[in-house]
Structure 1
Amino acid sequence: MFKSLHPNIRVRIYTSFLSRIIGSMIFPFMAIYFTDKINAAAAGILLLINVIVQFLAGLYGGFLADMLGRKRLMVMGETMKLFAFTGMLLVNAPWGTSAIATFAMMLVISVATGFINPAAEAMLIDVSTKETRAFMYSINYWAVNLSLMLGLMIGGWLFKTHFFELLIGLVGMSVITLWMTSVLIKETLQSEKTAAQKQYGLLPLLRSYQTVIKDLPFVLFTLGGIAILSLEFQRNNFIAVRLEQDIVPRAFTWIEGHEVLVDGVRLLSLLTVVNTVMIVLFTAVISKWIKNKPEQPIMYAGFVLFGCGYAFMAFSNHIPGLFLAVVVLSIGELLYVPTRQSMLADIVDDSKRGAYMAFNGFVFQVGKMFGALGIIVGEAIGGMSMAVLYILFILFGIAFTRVAILKKTVTVPEGSRLHS
């Protein structure tokens, strides 16, 4: 069935998979990089600025994708990424390191990503149908998690000792993905506007999102998503820094006579691998189990399990307990992701799906902002208080989502697909 998908879809899944494998060896650990090179507070501020830049670039990138074309914007973004990856390589070489120059290159990468992602999402919608869309997204979700698992597993072991070599791999992979995007992807935007009619200013941008912002149920549903997803981005920010600082390196014997030294970074890598393995192995099983069952109770149960797992990780150094917490939050993720996606499809206005899905992408960007802020806040209030804060975020997520569904149910005709 994969071969029946449009060639653009297949190429996008391939390029996303390849770039994420190398990228996830590096970027999930950059909070640790900046904490080591500068300090924790500066790391949080720099990463927050980085996310804000990507947020704004994504906002404008979604607008430009409808003006310039999907492929043109994707190629532009991939070219910018290749330039920035090369710059990161040069300023982290054996002959010298510059954290500020590294941050500058990360800003360029954030702008590039902000251009690529909305254009790619729009392109996937352009070339898919209602019948193939569910399969397309499930394959993409599986591929993303598999690439993250492989990348994090390798990155956790090599990031602190072979950072330069990982950057060489990142540059090489960027060359391949730029070539594939330029040569193998076909333009899908069918625009009737001439160059003279196209407007690229701030007012046209704001008008394109005006309808979405006025849809209160969708905005509330988005706020609920931000509250939930903010916890996931704590893993590579506050939790990563906390584990790196608090976990005393310990040697574990895995084969008789062979010991492996596990520190905070490697422990984080192992915990993330466990999470990703569970997602890869059990997504299909859980999706089949929840089919035809009430979606809201399952989703809320998933929220609670997800939050409790992260709350435990915010303060505990008990290694078996941390692995159990990851199992719990993984079960929560498996429960809430498919049910929330299903409800999102019900809440979105089908006649303006592109604008709605672009706005929904802000869930990830704002979640990343809270993730970066978590380093600063966590440094001030400590792990136990962060755990309480995570539980509050889950309660807010449940409340916003519930109110959104209730308000949408009042306004939609009988027979709505929203399940209580």
Structure 2
Amino acid sequence: MATTFSKNIRSTLASSFINSLIYSCTIPFLVIYLAGIFNARMTGLLVMTNVVVCFLAGIVGGYLADNFQRKKILHLFQSLYGGSLLLIALRFFGLFSADGWLILGYLVCGISFNLYSPAYDAVLMDCTTVENRKQAYQWQYWTFNLSMALGFSIGGFLFQHFLFQLFLVAGIAQLAMALLFQSQLDYTNATAEKRHKNRLKDLFLNYRIAAKDTRWLFLILGMALFNTAEFSLKTYTAVRLSKEFETLTLFTVPIDGVRMLSLLQVLNTLLVVGFTFLVSRFTEKRSEKATILYGLLIYVVSYGLIAVMNNIYILIPLMVLATIGELASSPNINARKVDLVPEDKQASYLAFSSLSYQGADLLAAFALTLSGYISAGFIAGYIIILGLVGTSLTVSSLYGRNNKGI
């Protein structure tokens, strides 16, 4: 149980939950608001700019977390994040009239969030042991998904009429949480040795080490390939369902393609929140390697079939299977990959691993582009083949000759 964790682990998990909750009830709805005041081209450019700067901030954040005290980094950038939320709240209140303040707040939120996230990951890794690491990552996975569900619900309810109050409370809560976390976290970390007086050169050398680690590189590539299956749900599958799914009535509620997509996403979240620990108990006495392998196979094939199906009575069981595969594999992968990370490069390695999600995003977007030239069946094959190759790379990276499976 989580009560058996050390105070540092409990504090980190609780703080991470609140951070994710605040993020999910504010930033996605800020994007919706921006889309209402700017044209599609401007909004798209703004979102793409945010993705790029957030990725760069994550890279810098990983370097900072390896070379400075993580506790100070967390306090500094969590506070900056809270301040940017208050800036947005003041714009909604009417104190600032220019929309540029919203853009500034949006970008600073993303930058500050990604500057401290690698430090969070490294603190959790540091505070866990071989015995409790898997359980800690299961709790992190569970709380993250719970925070997403709660955050989207809160934000969706308050979005229309209470934007000022939403961002004001979120900003105050973020600042209060940053102070409380500092008082609860009893932690110092060793810092990597500085190799150059030029910090920029030192930063690139830091990540060059991670990039030259072949096993880590193949793991990140493998994760990008199999994550393409799930990421395609929000790109290719979303567009296909909106165009091809025939509206039907379910319990007097009309379900069109967009609502079908929402239903699948809600189902996925509810299953993750409700069954993470049940699936964990079922798989804990089984081979970890086999659990990851078969979990990923179910996950990849199910999402690949979702990409081509239009029947609600097939789509829902496929989403249940995909989520079971995710629950069996994801926490185990997150816990196991820690064994591949050098102690003095923890945050940098973890920040570098964000490339797996960037890569999955690009591959899923490419599936959408391909759909203009080939049929849905070939797109499903594309997703499944990439996922199978990714599964092979991931398993071989985690359980190679230097990392024997359990």
Give the corresponding residue for 1:220: 218
Distance 1:137 1:403, change over 3 A: closer
CA distance, structure 1, for counterparts of residue 329 and residue 263 of structure 2: 23
CA contact (8 A) 2:66 2:191 kept: no
Q: CA deviation at 1:17?
A: 2.1
CA contact (8 A) 2:137 2:331 kept: no
Deviations 1:88-121 (A, max 9, x none): 5566789999998755543322211211111112
CA contact (8 A) 2:62 2:351 kept: yes
Distance 1:154 1:102, change over 3 A: same
Instruction: State which drifts further: 377-386 or 359-368.
Output: 377-386
Matched, 1:14 2:17: no
Q: Which amino acid aligns with 1:24?
A: S
CA contact (8 A) 2:195 2:202 kept: no
CA distance, structure 1, for counterparts of residue 107 and residue 388 of structure 2: 33
Give the corresponding residue for 2:280: 287
Give the corresponding residue for 1:377: 369
Matched, 1:177 2:178: no
Instruction: State which drifts further: 71-80 or 91-100.
Output: 91-100
* Equivalent residues in 2 for 1:297-312, closer than 5 Å: 297-312=290-305
* Equivalent residues in 2 for 1:10-159, closer than 5 Å: 10-25=10-25, 27=27, 38-39=39-40, 46-89=46-89, 105-153=105-153, 158=157
Deviations 1:8-57 (A, max 9, x none): 43333233323433533455678877777644x87666544432322211
CA distance, structure 2, for counterparts of residue 318 and residue 175 of structure 1: 45
Unaligned runs of 5+ in 1: 254-258
Give the corresponding residue for 2:404: 417
Instruction: State which drifts further: 226-235 or 215-224.
Output: 226-235
Distance 1:146 1:405, change over 3 A: closer
Q: CA deviation at 1:281?
A: 2.6
Distance 1:403 1:290, change over 3 A: same
Distance 1:342 1:70, change over 3 A: closer
Distance 1:192 1:148, change over 3 A: closer
CA contact (8 A) 1:11 1:180 kept: no
CA distance, structure 1, for counterparts of residue 305 and residue 93 of structure 2: 38
Deviations 1:146-197 (A, max 9, x none): 2223334555x648xx345356424412321222212432463345799x99
* Equivalent residues in 2 for 1:269-280, closer than 5 Å: 269-280=262-273
SS at match of 1:234: helix
SS at match of 2:233: coil
Distance 1:405 1:129, change over 3 A: closer
Counting matched residue pairs gives 402
Q: CA deviation at 1:145?
A: 1.6
Unaligned runs of 5+ in 2: none
CA distance, structure 1, for counterparts of residue 387 and residue 11 of structure 2: 36
Identity percentage over the alignment? 26
Question: Over aligned residues, Cα RMSD in angstroms?
Answer: 4.1
CA contact (8 A) 1:17 1:144 kept: yes
CA contact (8 A) 2:370 2:379 kept: yes
Q: Which amino acid aligns with 2:393?
A: F
Q: CA deviation at 1:219?
A: 1.0
CA contact (8 A) 2:228 2:360 kept: yes
* Equivalent residues in 2 for 1:295-334, closer than 5 Å: 295-334=288-327
CA distance, structure 1, for counterparts of residue 372 and residue 45 of structure 2: 14
CA distance, structure 2, for counterparts of residue 33 and residue 382 of structure 1: 35
CA contact (8 A) 2:141 2:331 kept: no
CA contact (8 A) 1:301 1:332 kept: yes
Q: CA deviation at 1:58?
A: 0.7
CA distance, structure 1, for counterparts of residue 101 and residue 382 of structure 2: 34
